[in-house]
Structure 1
């Protein structure tokens, strides 16, 4: 929630030194203090008892602007970790089947990334040369939840995340569930590329975790996203001959990829040189299309998280009850599982419910997470 110790203490009506001592573990955390904090922040009491997920820092792919504060980064990372914990728990409870993705290893060239994008299409049951009609549902069909994220502020309201990047992805280890998240839907073409970009991280970097902090990781994920959304063979046809901006706009309508991403894809594959790319970008700027491109691509809607909640709690799930059970602020849970037509999402056979687990942990750790 972005609260300092002092702000949290003031909201809960306790002293700041008391909160500090409880976080450090030098003083026992009491039910009375937790109740005050829970009531002041709208957080369910179960939040303080749940086992936090062990998510290694080098399995969270997230880029931020150079000027982003450490506090903002910590908030985003904490939010993503909680989202992963809930998603992984629901996947286990509802026994969602997960598809094994291709796994990149060792040094990669750009041709390798192009092939891995094709193999990912194979794994997701997509034709190698067709338009990906719904990127989010393709991921969800493979058992990868795609969730929109908001930050919860001190008043318990949702606020948009602005930290310099559109999405994040994470996993815990080999064979464990994966998660893709996006921070603001924006235009549909941006959202589709963001989802494909984060899918690229899940294919390219679990076995190459040391690269996640390197600039090459983003370059690789961008190349993967372009190859996944517009395969090289079809790109050769699409970019045949001299192309004007109106031609790129027509391709955007066909493939659901932004004009800017299409220009970069054409450059990556050698269909336009650096000078032509620069000229096209100048034309985009002159027309005001860098900020608002023509051709509307509507945002996609995720469904898997809501479908899992529906399977767990019934057709009209109580988010308050679900929030208590999964130990998450209800505003954040609502953002993770938007109310869309769950029937349009992946269909799975009903399965027995498995408890999320009731292991108790040091409450000071959960105070720190809050």
Structure 2
């Protein structure tokens, strides 16, 4: 007898690859109606059709026969969420579930860093003030032992060491930079593979940390209009990121000139984009609206809106915790690389990106009952 597939797993695999039922049908030569029947559990695919689906979606067979896992999920926040399409949002939401599965598996062998964050705001988004945001940033810097007037040296490393799970995704989408979500008792941040600059990535991560801390009262982004998303929720996360990466005292003391050329020198120190620093300068009332517009006109003339000076020289920050945990398990002979890959039942490309490794076939090793503690 042919083993029955899990209809929910088939649907999630399709969505994670950004395919509609029609697109999957066209690529496999299976009718759209039959694909729909498979996903509804009305019909189980025969061997030939299942092999076609596996080949197109590039998932292991064991993924489709595994049981679905359920866990509490909070609101999903998307960087540039007003511009992101439903298709791209759905793709990243499924990929976040993959990361939770990876985390749960690894947690059987290694203790991840303890989560250390300020208490989440539970105010309506319309009642959150700039003062609230500034206070939360100060709390965070104090908790993470970051000086209140200096740059954050490596934001991803500090966030990971304080319990936030940050991973890279294979997904590429110009309208979507990052996504974050509380899943049970951990916040997850997933970075989209857009070849973004180091400074853009740092701001994206800071922005998502802002969502994690500020927007505990948001049950669903679909409860808000596009205007609210952009002018209220996104603005608040952007302001949080600005305050975190460019603390008022330190930034003001370093701002010896508001000439465009001087911002290039500041960028080396703060590792924040010129455009973000200009916005912060206006926030602190160090320039007026007209001066800000003049600087942005200069940026447009120099064609710096998408690529600024130093974007190709500042080193990009890379998530490392999953890679460290993976190597810790393997080096202590708890499991082989192949045993981990096989147990997770997830696509090879996604696992390679998550663990920052190249997957090679290795023999499965016996699983001892040893527990390790991850060293920061």
Distance across 1 between alignment mates of 2:314 and 2:276: 14
Q: Secondary structure at the match of 1:206?
A: coil
Give the 3 Å change call, closer, same or farther, for CA 135–185 of structure 1 in structure 2. Answer: farther
Q: 1:11 to 1:278 in 2, by over 3 A?
A: closer
1:104/1:88 Cα in 2 relative to 1: closer, same or farther (>3 Å)?
Answer: farther
Identify unmatched segments of 5+ residues in structure 2.
1-16, 359-368
Which residue pairs with 2:6 in the alignment?
none
Q: Which moved more, 1:140-149 or 1:321-330?
A: 321-330
Q: 36-45 or 6-15, which moves further after superposition? A: 6-15
Taking a change above 3 Å as real, the CA distance of residues 119 and 351 of structure 1, as seen in their structure-2 partners, is farther
Name the CA shift for 1:291/1:318 in 2 (closer, same or farther; >3 Å): farther
TM-superposed deviation, 1:320: 5.0
Q: Please show how residues 29-178 of structure 1 align to structure 2 within 5 Å.
A: 34=50, 37-48=53-64, 49-54=66-71, 56=73, 59-64=75-80, 69-91=85-107, 93-102=109-118, 103-106=120-123, 107-151=127-171, 160-162=172-174, 164-173=175-184, 176-178=185-187
> 1:239 touches 1:271 (CA, 8 Å); kept in 2?
no
Distance 1:351 1:142, change over 3 A: farther
**RMSD over aligned Cα atoms:** 2.9
Contact kept? 2:197, 2:316, Cα under 8 Å: yes
**TM-score, with structure 1 as normaliser:** 0.79
Change (3 A) 1:51 1:312: farther
Structure 2 match to 1:337: 355
Match of 1:328 among 346, 349, 367: 346
Q: Equivalences for 1:1-370 in 2 at 5 Å? A: 1-9=17-25, 14-28=30-44, 34=50, 37-48=53-64, 49-54=66-71, 56=73, 59-64=75-80, 69-91=85-107, 93-102=109-118, 103-106=120-123, 107-151=127-171, 160-162=172-174, 164-173=175-184, 176-183=185-192, 184-209=194-219, 213=224, 214-215=228-229, 216-239=232-255, 242-295=257-310, 296-314=313-331, 321-339=339-357, 352=371
* Residues 53/327 of structure 1: CA separation in 2 closer, same or farther (3 Å cut): farther
Distance 1:251 1:67 in 2: 30
1:316-353 Cα distance to aligned partner (Å, 9 max, x none): 9866543331121010111122149xxxxxxxxx9628
Structure 1 unaligned runs (5+)? 152-159, 341-349, 354-370
Q: Deviations over 1:50-88 (max 9, x none)?
A: 4344454x5110145767543333223322332333234
Q: Paired residues, what number?
A: 331
Secondary structure, in 3 states, of the residue corresponding to 2:141? helix
Question: Would the alpha carbon gap of residues 314 and 210 (structure 1) be closer, same or farther in structure 2, given more than 3 Å must change?
Answer: same
> Could you tell me whether the CA contact under 8 Å between 2:115 and 2:162 is conserved in 1?
yes
CA distance in 2 between partners of 1:92 and 1:267 (Å): 48
Indicate the structure whose relative CO is greater, using CA pairs within 8 Å and at least 6 residues apart: 1
- Conserved? CA contact 2:75–2:218, under 8 Å: no
Q: Secondary structure at the residue paired with 1:302?
A: coil
TM-score for the superposition, normalised by structure 2: 0.78
